[in-house]
């Protein structure tokens, strides 16, 4: 039986055993759960919160052991070599619907960027920036509260590790739909260094249980919230400042002249996490209006998608997901039948789709390996698209070589639309660097630097 919570062993005695334990089944996985009460949570938080190390007294020793512990965790999770790994993987596959191969790769990607050198460099850069903005310095919070989302397993791993390196006590509220992964990761951490793990707890309660959420909010934590726009808005109403990771998506950008060699990478980004996360491209924008090139690109991408599907099989989809894919395809087929230039290439079932059209409504999201190829005649046209979705675009994924990206940046047509966008290369979008959150989220950047926080929603 797997636990949907992690409470550090340091809270021995009654605190470690909050209240009656119970078990429940979800997606065929049996969980041991703790039935939380407001009273217990209040008492726990009073004991759990404590001054962060940040870069103050004792921080060097803390950071050294935290870096070491997390690197040990990262090594085990990259190779999935830890006790009970198979069971965890099978349970996660059942819970998330992702195939075991996909999960294995996704989890490895999460931890790929964490080694001693990288983590130390990150800490050094944080300190440098903190010192540079001395006028905005504030004390690091004595409690951080991460509210996770369930659609992308491990979405909170990066922020969790960063907060842990700074010695900030972190309470995680697991997503009810995926309460499994973080408690297991924390078990691994506790095995390597119980003291580092002692500053992290992960609990699960349904979002409807507002009393428990409010109890945490009343302790004035630094809030880091993942979720849809509604969730983020609700938190925004309650808390003046926090780091939000709301609904975002990415776009892949390709010059079709020389993209062939990158096709596998473009397909990889489209397939990872079944296109559900903020780093997944919702469209592949082609820098051409020559439909012969579009045709050729789509055929090559379809081939790459089929190959990727063989390497990383799509997981189990719900009837609703199948239905959505059929409806997306049906809508495009109708546009084609009405005379619009449409390309629609599909697998025999619903495993993957490649569709090209001159316009898409990106507010209507797709998932499950549905590649929307959007040809644009010019960078100006591209800028118009990026501008239209400027609050939603997380990163631009470059589908060609670095040399060609430089040429793109040198283009005289490039305007300020692209100034604040974060670029990545195809194939690497889903394995972002250690500091990528700092680049894409100013609120998060200020929080980790211990600088006065401004909400990103203001």
Partner 1 sequence: MPESISEKILPFIQTAPMAAFDDETFNRLAVELFHHQFEKNAVYRGLCRQQKIAPARVTGWREIPAVTTSAFKEVPLACFPAHEAAAVFHTSGTTQQRAGKHYFRTLKYYRAAMLRSFAAYCLADFGSRIADCGLRIADKRRSEIPNPKSPIRMRMFLLGPTFELFQNSSLGYMFSGLRDEFGDEKSAVFFSPEKVNAEGLQKALDRASQENAPVFILGTALALLECVEIFQQHNRKFQLPSGSRILDTGGYKGRRLEVTREEFQNWLSETFGLPREYLLNEYGMTELSSQFYASSLPDIPLRKERPTGSSHVLRFTPYVSHFLPPWVRVVAVDPEHLEILPAGELGLLRIFDLANVDSVMAIQTEDLGRAWQNRLELIGRAAGAELRGCSLLTETIAHAA
For the CB of residue 363, give the shortest distance to partner 1 in the complex, in Å: 5
DSSP tag of 15: G
At 385 the three-state DSSP class reads: helix
| Of 57, 312, 281, 92, nearest in space to 180 by CA | 92
Nearer to partner 1, 360 or 436 (CB): 360
Q: Is 63 in the site for partner 1 (CB under 8 A)?
A: no
- Cross-strand pairs, 398: 253, 425
Q: Pairing relation of β-strands 21-26 and 29-34?
A: antiparallel
Q: Measured from the CB of residue 318, what is the shortest distance to partner 1 in angstroms? A: 6
> Min. distance of Cβ 352 from partner 1 in angstroms?
12
Distances in whole angstroms, Cα of residue 172 to Cα of each of 4, 274, 328? 11, 25, 36
Contact status: 359 vs partner 1 (CB under 8 A): no
Quick check: 350 binds partner 1 (CB under 8 A)? yes
Per the structure block, which two tokens stand in for 246? 């709301």
Tokens of 155: 């979405």
Alpha-carbon span 400 to 367, nearest angstrom: 23
Q: How far is the CB of 133 from partner 1 (least distance, A)?
A: 38
CA triple 235-240-243, angle to 5 deg: 65
Our CB check for partner 1 shows the closer of 340 and 413 to be: 340
Note whether 358 binds partner 1 by CB under 8 A. Answer: no
CB of 143 or CB of 278, closer to partner 1: 278
- Reduced to 3 states (helix: H, G, I; strand: E, B; else coil), residue 243 is strand
* Positions 279 through 338 that interact with partner 1 (CB under 8 A): 317-324, 326-338
The answer to whether 9 contacts partner 1 (rule: CB under 8 A) is no
The span from the CA of 87 to the CA of 365, in Å, is 32
| Nearer of residues 122 and 370 to partner 1, judged by Cβ | 370
| Beta carbon of residue 185, minimum distance to partner 1 (angstroms, whole number) | 27
- For position 348 contacting partner 1 by CB under 8 A, the verdict is yes
Regarding 50 and contact with partner 1 (CB under 8 A), the answer is no
For residues 134 and 348, which CB has a smaller minimum distance to partner 1 in the complex? 348
Q: Which is nearer to partner 1, 111 or 328 (CB)?
A: 328
CB-based burial label for 35 (10 Å; 0-12, 13-18, 19+): exposed
Which residue's CB is nearer to partner 1, number 228 or number 415?
A: 228
CB of 446 to partner 1, least distance (A): 30
What does the chain come to in residues? 458
Pairwise CA distance, residues 66 & 60, whole Å: 10
Nearest 5°: CA angle at 409, between 124 and 429?
55
Q: What's the closest the beta carbon of residue 310 comes to partner 1, in angstroms?
A: 17
Q: Which is nearer to partner 1, 58 or 349 (CB)?
A: 349
Q: Who's near 289: CB < 8 A, 6+ residues apart?
A: 375, 376, 377
**Which of 46, 117, 135, 361 touches partner 1 by CB under 8 A?**
361
Q: Does 17 bind partner 1 (CB under 8 A)?
A: no
Distance CA 207, CA 289 (A): 46
Among 339, 406, 412, 416, binds partner 1 (CB under 8 A): 339
364 binds partner 1 (CB under 8 A): yes
Residue 93: helix, strand or coil by DSSP? helix
Tell which one of 87, 363, 378, 411 touches partner 1 (CB under 8 A): 363
Closest to partner 1 by CB, 140 vs 374, is 374
Of the chain, the end-to-end C-alpha distance in Å amounts to 44
374 binds partner 1 (CB under 8 A): no
- Nearest approach, Cβ of residue 23 and partner 1 (Å): 24
Nearest approach in angstroms of CB 225 to partner 1 is 20
d(CA 287, CA 253): 7
Instruction: State CA 105 to chain mean position distance.
Output: 14
- x/- track of binding to partner 1 for residues 91-130 (CB under 8 A): ----------------------------------------
Number of residues lying near partner 1 (CB under 8 A): 28
Among candidate residues 269, 287, 265, the one with its CA nearest the CA of residue 278 = 269
Contact 81, 200 (CB under 8 A): no
Q: Which of 239, 329 has the CB closer to partner 1? A: 329
Nearest CB to partner 1, comparing residues 83 and 349: 349
Binding flag, residue 237, partner 1 (CB under 8 A): no
Q: What is the dihedral of CA 146, 148, 154, 156, to 10 degrees?
A: -30
Give the binding site for partner 1 (CB under 8 A).
Answer: 317-324, 326-339, 348-350, 361, 363-364
């Amino acid at each position: 039986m797997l636990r949907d919570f992690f409470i550090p062993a340091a809270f021995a005695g009654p605190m470690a055993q909050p209240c009656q334990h119970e078990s429940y089944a979800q997606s065929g996985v049996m969980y041991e759960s703790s039935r939380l009460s407001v009273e217990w949570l209040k008492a726990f938080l009073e004991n759990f919160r404590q001054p962060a190390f940040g870069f103050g007294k004792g921080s060097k020793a803390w950071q050294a052991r935290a870096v070491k512990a997390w690197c040990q965790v990262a090594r085990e999770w990259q190779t999935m070599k830890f006790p009970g790994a198979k069971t965890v993987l099978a349970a996660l596959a059942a819970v998330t619907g992702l195939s075991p191969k996909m999960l294995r790769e996704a989890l490895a990607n999460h931890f790929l960027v964490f080694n001693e050198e990288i983590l130390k460099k990150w800490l050094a850069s944080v300190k440098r920036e903190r010192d540079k903005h001395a006028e905005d310095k504030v004390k690091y919070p004595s409690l951080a509260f991460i509210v996770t989302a369930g659609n992308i397993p491990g979405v909170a791993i990066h922020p969790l590790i960063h907060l842990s390196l700074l010695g900030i006590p972190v309470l995680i509220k697991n997503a009810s739909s995926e309460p499994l992964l973080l408690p297991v990761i924390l078990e691994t951490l506790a095995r390597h260094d119980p003291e580092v793990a002692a500053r992290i707890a992960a609990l699960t309660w349904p979002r409807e249980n507002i009393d428990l959420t409010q109890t945490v909010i009343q302790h004035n934590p630094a809030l880091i919230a993942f979720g849809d726009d509604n969730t983020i808005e609700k938190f925004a109403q309650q808390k003046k400042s926090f780091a939000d990771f709301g609904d975002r998506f990415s776009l892949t950008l390709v010059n079709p002249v020389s993209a062939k060699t990158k096709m596998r990478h473009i397909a990889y980004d489209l397939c990872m996490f079944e296109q559900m996360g903020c780093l997944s491209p919702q469209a592949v924008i082609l820098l051409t209006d020559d439909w012969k090139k579009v045709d050729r690109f789509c055929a090559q991408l379809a081939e790459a998608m089929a190959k990727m599907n063989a390497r990383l099989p799509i997981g189990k989809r719900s009837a609703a997901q199948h239905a959505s894919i059929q409806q997306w395809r049906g809508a495009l087929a109708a546009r084609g039948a009405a005379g619009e230039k449409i390309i629609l290439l599909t697998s025999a079932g619903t495993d993957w789709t490649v569709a090209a059209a001159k316009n898409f409504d990106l507010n209507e999201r797709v998932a499950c390996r549905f590649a929307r190829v959007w040809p644009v005649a010019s960078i100006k046209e591209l800028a118009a698209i990026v501008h239209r979705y400027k609050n939603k675009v997380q990163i631009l994924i470059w589908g060609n070589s670095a040399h060609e990206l430089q040429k793109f940046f040198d283009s005289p047509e490039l305007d300020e639309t692209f100034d604040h966008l974060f670029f990545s290369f195809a194939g690497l979008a889903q394995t972002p660097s250690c500091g990528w959150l700092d680049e894409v989220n100013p609120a998060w950047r200020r929080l980790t630097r211990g600088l006065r926080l401004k909400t990103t929603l203001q």
